[in-house]
Chain A
């Protein structure tokens, strides 16, 4: 499985934008980039995914580099509820549903 690299931790202030980076230099052409997050004492939850184009949904935006070797999850206005571990995961056509979680980024949001 292609690997992702994320910073161990990041900090933000409430109501400010947060940019969470992910490097995936060995991504293949059929790999989708997925982001999940895990709030304290909860199971992971889906945030967003994309293939080549930037994507927006009600939770976040995903900016994908033109060469697809990196991506950035953007939380437009962080809230205290966004404090979580954020996982960037590649899922390709042959993964058949397997999600391989890396270490993720621990996001701390300060009031």
Chain B
């Protein structure tokens, strides 16, 4: 059974720091991996999608990498800002029981202090 784990569960950093959020998955036969941001009481905002054939994707201050063989993805946030405070979720697109399905981690709650 695919399990997705995110470490750390919570993180508090001063403004301006570069930081790394980790996502690990137990089944390497994934199709995509997607990183999301969720603000309190809100839905999910897609940040980056990495296809299984790719190793990384970049958008502004965000960079996500994927190592399928080791079952890991990292989300790198450069020069963090208070507006980055949110919960960050990763999800893997896994083929199981005849269909593809997104399995989510439990998220990392990030607080960036001004």
- A and B physically associate: no
Interface residues, chain B, with chain A CB atoms under 8 Å away:
none
